[in-house]
Amino acid sequence: MKKTILTVAMLLTIIICHAEKGHAVTNVPGNVLASASKQYEQVHFKKWEKKNDTFIARFTSSKRKHSAYYLADGTWVKTETKIPWSWKLPEAVKNSFDKTAYTSWYIDEMKQIESPGKNLFVIQVHHSYAPDGAIPGSFDDVCKLYFDANGSLLNKEHKE
C-alpha cells in the first residue's frame, strides 16, 4: 500500500512539473520559425516548448540563457534573459535595488524581460525566517521587484 501511494505521488509530481514547464514540441508553425529566425539570425534554438497558445524558443547567446515567446501567427510577445550575477545588472537598476528594503534578502533569480515597447528587469528575492530543521521554502517570504532600465521601481509582488 505504501509503495502504491508513493508511486502515485511521484507520478502526480512529474505530471504537475511537466504541465507547468510546457510541452516540448517539434512541429513549430512556419510563421513562428520565420519570425524567430529573423529576430535572432545568429542563434541556434536548443529547444521549443508550447505553453497554452504560446511557443517558447530556448537558446543561449553571449553566454546567457534566453527564452523568446511567440504567438502561433509569429507575433513576438517577449524575450526573457537570465542574469547570472547582480554586477551584470544595469548600474541604475543595481543602485535602485540597493536602496530598497530587500537588499538583505537572498536573490533567487534575476532576468531582463524585453517586449514590444518595454524593457524590464525583475529581481526575485526571498527572506527565510525558518527555524533550523524546517522544510525548505515553508517559511519564506518571496518578492518580485520590477524595475525599468532607468532604475525606477515599477511594481513589487509579495507572496508569503
pTM higher than the cut 0.85: no
Helix, strand or coil for residue 155? strand
Is pLDDT at 4 greater than 60 in this prediction? no
Residues 95-106 pLDDT 10s: 999 999 999 888
Mean pLDDT over the full length of the chain: 84
Is pLDDT at 121 greater than 50 in this prediction? yes
Range(s) of the domain holding residue 124: 2-159
DSSP state of 86: G
- The number of folded domains in the chain is 1
As given in the structure block, the three cell numbers for residue 11 are: 507520478
Burial code of 130-150, b = ≥16 C-beta within 10 A, e = fewer? eeeeeeeeeebebbebebbee
Q: What percent of the chain has pLDDT over 70?
A: 76
Average pLDDT over residues 93-116: 94
Average pLDDT over residues 51-74: 93
* 119 neighbors 142 (Cβ within 8 angstroms): no
| 90 confidence band (pLDDT: 50, 70, 90) | very high
Report CA Rg, the chain.
Answer: 19
Measured CA to CA, the distance from residue 59 to residue 94 in angstroms comes to 26
What confidence score (pLDDT) does residue 127 get? 80
Residues 65-84 pLDDT 10s: 999 999 999 999 999 999 99
CATH number at residue 33: 3.10.450.360
